[in-house]
Chain A
Amino acid sequence: MSPQAQAQLTCKEFVELVTDLIEDQLDAALRLAAEAHLGDCDGCEAYLEQIRQTVAALRGLADSGDFTRDRERALAAFRELRADAHGNGNGAGRSE
């Protein structure tokens, strides 16, 4: 990824910079070049916007189903394998 910051960015170069741009990882010169390009290019503006919309939509997939059963099983295993083995120790945090 090495378009010269001095030269104007092409659209093809710009699309490879969008993640660095969003993540604020561009050096100052490249950031200026990217912003200058954006101001002057509807296609790249739409592209960047669509990447942002995609990221937002992905967050909407976050419902990962029911986690309570996983949790109960994990805690049961812990109780069985650890808490009981150390049960009479120092009384550390047996919550039930």
Chain B
Amino acid sequence: MGQPVGDEPRDDAELVEALRGGDERAFADLVDELGPALRRLALAHVPSEAVADEVVQDTWLGVIRGIDGFEGRSALRTWIFRILLNNARTRGKRERRTLPFSFFRRDDPEGRGGPTVDADRFQGRRGDQPGAWARPPVEWSSPEERLAGDAARRVMLEAIAELPARQREVLTLRDIQGYSAAEARNALELTETNQRVLLHRARAKVRAALERHFDDEGGAGR
């Protein structure tokens, strides 16, 4: 909880002073701490590793150039994530226009509203037990093995690409990168509740995609 990884996080004021003073060691620590998460968040918006690399590099350039003007109104790390997200969202929009297929096509960035599981999975008002499963999920057989496979991996990546942008950001930091709720909330400037709602919806959609995949594959036994 609290600070993202890194053994002894300095407080912001000290770190900002070090960066302004050209302390390369302090900068390297920051790059090591945030680099993987920044790269992964960039990949949540742009379609290739090469573009993600550029977005991350532009972010560090923004930090290096902007640190003198950083006023500390937000936490240093929140500021860095904000620079990255602005870059990544802008780049993502531009790249999307040039893509032949529907990569990241949602317009509604939060995608709130509506149930997370298809309503037709449950009994309607006239059923014996309204709101109970009509078609319950069936335990996945040998889930560890199948979930680790290439096919499942592809299904997850496709499902993530289909998520509304904010859901994709939260899922990326929380579940792929392993950030705590507090870390993700600070990085993405979300309220605790909003963070959780977005995560909830995103996870449900990835699960549903896996379920469809396993159904098609057959072999979901009990």
Is B138 within 8 A of A54, CB to CB?
no
In chain A, residues 31-90, which have Cβ atoms closer than 8 Å to a Cβ of chain B?
41-44, 46-47, 49-51, 53-62, 64-65, 67, 69-71, 73-75, 77-79, 81-87, 89-90
Is B26 within 8 A of A50, CB to CB?
no
From the candidates B21, B143, B199, name the one contacting A19 in the complex (CB within 8 A). B199
Give the interface residue-count category, chain A.
35 or more
Is B130 within 8 A of A10, CB to CB?
yes
B175 contacts the other chain (CB 8 A): yes
Chain A contacts of B13 at CB under 8 A?
none
B190 contacts the other chain (CB 8 A): no
Chain A contacts of B175 at CB under 8 A?
55, 58-59
B105 contacts the other chain (CB 8 A): no
Q: A-side binding surface: helix, strand, loop or mixed?
A: helix
Instruction: Name the residue of chain B whose CB is nearest to the CB of A79.
Output: B24
Shortest CB distance A48–B (Å): 9
Given A79-B24, A86-B22, A74:B57 Cβ within 8 A: yes
Is A50 within 8 A of B210, CB to CB?
yes
Is A82 within 8 A of B22, CB to CB?
yes
Chain A contacts of B26 at CB under 8 A?
93
Is A12 within 8 A of B115, CB to CB?
yes
A16 contacts the other chain (CB 8 A): yes
Contact with A along B30-73 (1 / 0, CB 8 A): 01100110011001000001000100110011001101000000
13 A-B contact pairs sorted by A residue (CB < 8 Å): A12-B119, A15-B117, A19-B200, A42-B136, A49-B139, A50-B211, A54-B147, A64-B43, A65-B39, A71-B31, A73-B57, A77-B61, A92-B18
In whole angstroms, what is the CA distance A59 to B143 when docked? 15
